[in-house]
Amino acid sequence: MPSFIQSTPPIASIGLLADLTGVAGALGAIMPDLSAAIASTVLRSLGEDTHTRSVRRHERVLGALACASVGIVALTTTGLSLAALAACLLCLPLLVAADIDRRHHLLPDLITIPLLWLGLLLNLGAIVTPLNDAVIGAVTGYLGLRTLSWGVAAASRSEGIGHGDFKLVAALGAWLGWQALPAILFIAAALAVLTGLLHAASTRARTLPRLAFGPSLAAAGIFVLFVPSLRHW
């Protein structure tokens, strides 16, 4: 079975690595603008009166650092390859989706659905995982999390898990295969609980706050992407 991280030598030219990392950083610097624009468009389509928020300088710096880090890891582990391009094509939308969900508790179909189909399209050539594993991952990711949400909603009489989360997990399954889903969901759940506990402790709240699950899913997906041994955990 093909593995995403191959035992190929890293990029030979330090100058080329620096140039490509700079491009990734420049894309990351405009990522907050893209996030704000997509969120504003989607919220308006839902009938909410909103406007595109202004982006602060530190957001651009964080976006640049995040994208540059992804570029460095992808290029130094796989070299100049389709696998490195696939890593960037997955990570950049995940970072945008995580930012939108963190701010608005919203995972737009405008991101999750194309991301799902792009994963299936790339895996026609088994770039990341075999196509049959990708298809099973997309289906089981969506249906599995939706079933879990029904159980949570019935037990707690709450809304359960957001529908955007179902689609994001389906997209991650389409990219990384069904074998990666247990590790992704476990890591995401652990991150979500830890984030909730830290937030509750910092605000001295007696109950865990309602936090977006998308950022935890995105972080878990990126982590499992670059640690392929976790896909058969």
Distance of CA 95 to the CA centre of its chain: 6
141, containing H or E segment: helix 131-156
Predicted confidence at residue 232, as pLDDT, reads 75
Q: Is 121 exposed, middle or buried, given 0-12, 13-18 or 19+ CB atoms closer than 10 A?
A: middle
Distance, CA of 22 to CA of 179 (rounded, Å): 34
Predicted confidence at residue 144, as pLDDT, reads 86
Q: Is 2 exposed, middle or buried, given 0-12, 13-18 or 19+ CB atoms closer than 10 A?
A: middle
Distance, CA of 153 to CA of 194 (rounded, Å): 21
Distance, CA of 88 to CA of 71 (rounded, Å): 7
Distance, CA of 95 to CA of 35 (rounded, Å): 9
Predicted confidence at residue 228, as pLDDT, reads 84
Please answer whether residues 152 and 207 qualify as being in contact, where contact means their C-beta atoms are separated by less than 8 angstroms: no
The pLDDT tens digits along the chain (233 residues) read: 444 544 444 454 677 777 777 888 888 888 888 888 888 888 888 777 666 667 788 888 998 898 888 888 887 777 777 788 888 889 999 999 999 998 888 999 999 999 999 999 999 988 889 999 999 999 999 998 888 778 766 766 666 567 889 999 999 999 999 999 999 999 999 998 898 888 777 777 666 667 789 999 999 999 999 988 888 76
Nearest residue to 127 via CA among 176, 71, 74, 75: 176
Q: Which amino acid is at 191?
A: L
Predicted confidence at residue 156, as pLDDT, reads 64
Predicted confidence at residue 130, as pLDDT, reads 93
Distance, CA of 31 to CA of 14 (rounded, Å): 25
Residue 52: HSE in the Cβ half-sphere, 13 Å Cα cutoff: 9
**pTM, full prediction:** 0.85
- Joined tokens for residue 187: 């890591």
